[in-house]
Structure 1
């Protein structure tokens, strides 16, 4: 709770970059907790790039866009009741770089296991939540089947926010139908052992998803 409150204060400009937080003692009084609890919150904030702790002095607020990491993004999104559209755009851009690589590696090393992941597509309900949940599980499994464990670490960083973001994306019926078509075409490429086609197909779909989302958000702004 203390960590989230301090992050909200930073996001709202109550604490600005290069300015100090209140001393631990004053924060403990403000939040009505012991100093060890405040110290733990400060350690978590430092670990995720929000602040720089100083021995015997109040911590300094960082420019989180320069000092942050994946968890910083998660922290930001957890402060919103509804995830901003721009962050979904950022996620879709990230997927263009990451997803084709771990899909290719998963197909190369575990083709039969990858094929099995598509067994649920035919029974997939045509609603945002079903698609979001399925796509989340699919991405996790594909990343796990790749030869690089870092992919799964990155995916797991978004555990708390991936499905809410995906639900907003899949709220559009055409987005769901485009993904369903992609799942089918990707499966066919894997069944044919066409690894290059699977990789190219995935990249094309990630790029298409980004363009679909940009079009949707532009229409919403009119």
Structure 2
């Protein structure tokens, strides 16, 4: 929770506390939540606020509400959608290393195709962005911001809006994890080489070559992460 953004609205406050309790095992999948009065007291919110929160969480797939029965905590990785992904990335302390590995695998599958169509559809716009890499400050913040921006521009220029919608849910997690990754000078050098190789392919109007550069880089990053965390 980012305190600089001010206090959370009551429903968001309740959601944050309740999701944290689900993720830390207080209310694991298959368990039931306390009765409304008790749960509202536990969370420190009014019962109307709790009802609104629970309805939203049911929509995302966290829980199942049944009239006259206790509220059931779902196996959210099976019942949830992109809304759950977005919520999970805001609870970094509970994101397992396997979750990051799964994201990197998804990225490896999607990004090469984004690159292919970005070069095909909007080569000049991509070229302009890649040339900005030449002036990057030697800081973790500069690199992670630029790198995530490259993800987003590839998604935007591909012409498929679903790519951007998927990536949006991972932005906060990526900036957090990537910030640590780019603390290493060697990782910044590797990424600089990636940007240069991609720039060369785009300048040559080589759609397939650009896609291959992205594919190799994404797969190498995924393998590196798995070796680091032992997954």
Tell me the TM-score normalised to structure 2 length.
Answer: 0.86
Between 1:21-30 and 1:158-167, the stretch displaced more is: 21-30
Alpha-carbon distance in structure 1 between the residues aligned to 2:24 and 2:96:
15
Structure 2 counterpart of 1:99: 111
Aligned partner of 1:172 among 169, 181, 184: 184
Cα deviation, residue 215, structure 1:
3.5
Q: Which aligned pairs between 1:1-222 and structure 2 lie closer than 5 A?
A: 1-81=13-93, 85-217=97-229
Q: CA 1:213 to 1:171, structure 2 compared with 1: closer, same or farther past 3 Å?
A: farther
SS at match of 2:29: coil
Alpha-carbon distance in structure 1 between the residues aligned to 2:40 and 2:102:
36
| Cα-to-partner distance string for 1:104-141 (whole Å, 9 max, x where unaligned) | 11111111111111122111122222111111111112
Q: CA 1:69 to 1:172, structure 2 compared with 1: closer, same or farther past 3 Å?
A: farther
Asked if 2 retains the 8 angstrom alpha-carbon contact of 1:127 and 1:171, the reply is: yes
SS at match of 2:38: helix
Asked if 2 retains the 8 angstrom alpha-carbon contact of 1:175 and 1:212, the reply is: no
Query: Any unmatched runs of 5+ in structure 1?
Result: none
Alpha-carbon distance in structure 1 between the residues aligned to 2:30 and 2:228:
38
**Cα RMSD after superposing both structures:** 2.1
Alpha-carbon distance in structure 2 between the residues aligned to 1:143 and 1:176:
22
Alpha-carbon distance in structure 1 between the residues aligned to 2:168 and 2:62:
20
| Cα-to-partner distance string for 1:146-166 (whole Å, 9 max, x where unaligned) | 121100100111232220021
Tell me the TM-score normalised to structure 1 length.
Answer: 0.89
Alpha-carbon distance in structure 2 between the residues aligned to 1:171 and 1:85:
19
Asked if 2 retains the 8 angstrom alpha-carbon contact of 1:186 and 1:202, the reply is: yes
Aligned length: 219
Structure 1 counterpart of 2:5: none
SS at match of 1:204: helix
